[in-house]
Structure 1
């Protein structure tokens, strides 16, 4: 493997992986409170997004505070081109889900329960058991609040590396 500007290149497969250095985040990544973030605008299911991140030695974003949630939305999602309907295109997958136990949300990369949540009013859909069963993955809305959505939905995604 060769090292080149914060990336490791596997010469056999030609794949580039991000490597954080003591100098901060790599090219096209943004740093916030010692975490590096990347917004991938490719649309993918939650599982595809998770695997994409893992193949780059990163994970879907885990949001630890309202400040972080607001920063992510403001930095990556809140654009002049966003439609006014909050659940439309200006959204991104996070690592949050309740795939293991319905109604008990956790971060995919961490075995710990969520210590913080920032749900959009009326979310998660746990109040409606019929909807709740099919909505297991969390996306971040352009206002920094969260929504639960079917994991099969195609969304852009934000991933991070610490």
Structure 2
């Protein structure tokens, strides 16, 4: 029975590697479940039924990765770096893909917007307190962000601030402005995240859209 389990695990890992499952770190839980399922099947059903279960589960994993009926939702990260750029790594957070520019030299808002759209993403629109805290927490724990700035899709379009991501653009229903801002309520001013303090004190600021800084892209829902 021990040799059957070892053989089953080896087959599963070989087949997982053949479909490049290890690119998808958040899929490792599924592999673990498959392995545990295989072991339990040996105990109760014997090696012959185990092989049949391996074949079924193996096809399920390949189907999920290759885009079958149970395909990974498109909002989750399909690549490690947006457009293959190693300076823009991606993470799946709360079942959605976000990519963070980590360039030494930033870009203006328009260039950041074009880069995101070229990868079928948009600049980040922070629409809820929960999403705001999620992004803030990720940045302060995963990236060296103190003093860093990141463009969002926020932009002043007369007569209000809007998320200029997908049309029709939506006005802000939620905001986390730094005290005293926005103080530039006029066209060609955009919203960026400024990490020089805590979340609760507010960390959104406005500046000329021509300012050079980093940016955050998010998958289109």
| TM norm structure 2 | 0.53
Q: Give the SS at the match of 1:53.
A: helix
Runs of 4+ in 1 over 4 A off after TM superposition: 77-83
- Partner residue of 1:139? 192
Count how many residue pairs are aligned between Structure 1 and Structure 2: 134
Structure 1 position 30 matched with structure 2 position 86: no
More strand by share: 1
CA RMSD of aligned residues (A): 2.8
Structure 2 stretches of 5 or more lacking a match?
Answer: 1-19, 25-66, 81-88
Change (3 A) 1:79 1:141: farther
More helix by share: 2
Return the match for 1:53 from 110, 116, 128.
116
Q: Give the SS at the match of 1:118.
A: coil
Q: CA deviation at 1:136?
A: 1.2
Task: Kindly name which structure, 1 or 2, has the bigger radius of gyration based on alpha carbons.
Answer: 2
| TM norm structure 1 | 0.70
Contact 2:158–2:186 at 8 Å: present in 1 too? no
CA distance in 1, matches of 2:141, 2:206: 19
- Partner residue of 1:114? 172
CA distance in 1, matches of 2:150, 2:140: 8
Structure 1 stretches of 5 or more lacking a match?
Answer: 7-19, 84-88, 126-130
Q: Deviations over 1:115-154 (max 9, x none)?
A: 11111111111xxxxx444761000122442101111111
- Partner residue of 1:39? 100
- Partner residue of 1:76? 139
With a CA cutoff of 8 Å and minimum separation of 6, indicate the structure with the bigger relative contact order: 1
Q: Give the SS at the match of 1:44.
A: coil
